Amino acid sequence: MSDIRIASIAPILPSHNLRRSMDYYHLLGFSCTPYQDGDGYAFLTRDGLEIHLRKAPDLIERHNPCGVYFYLDSGTTATLEAEFRAAGVEILSPLEPREWKMNEFMVSDPDGNLLRFGEKLA
């Protein structure tokens, strides 16, 4: 293998309605930038990281197997969950220690994309 390093990764999540999805991710603290006419693709950024959304008109809402895991710095997960609650974000699964040695909580976007936020347990 070469010494080429992958600098970042950007998951591409399906969205039935890009405007609704961008509004939701804005509640999570993401900056949302539609691509060109804004009807087919969007870029979401937070803390130097990106998620992309693509329009998927045939997507069955809330029946989506996609997901993203956000690894947080130790001791910050409870604060983030509280921020989400204060913004009116529904918490799908509250913050708790998991058997896989992560302290995490989960939310789901309007299209059923599962978003897990967690920190490693000592």
Q: What's the confidence (pLDDT) of residue 14?
A: 94
Contacts of 100 (CB under 8 A, 6+ apart): none
Q: What's the confidence (pLDDT) of residue 66?
A: 85
| 75 has pLDDT over 80 | yes
Q: What's the confidence (pLDDT) of residue 65?
A: 73
Q: Domain 12-120 carries which CATH code?
A: 3.10.180.10
Q: What's the confidence (pLDDT) of residue 105?
A: 98
Q: What's the confidence (pLDDT) of residue 6?
A: 87
Q: What's the confidence (pLDDT) of residue 62?
A: 65
DSSP state of 84: H
Q: What's this model's pTM, rounded to 2 decimal places?
A: 0.89
pLDDT, tens digit, for every residue of 11-64?
999 998 999 999 999 999 999 999 987 779 999 999 999 999 999 988 776 666
Answer for the pair 81, 89: CB distance below 8 angstroms, yes or no: no
Contacts of 60 (CB under 8 A, 6+ apart): none
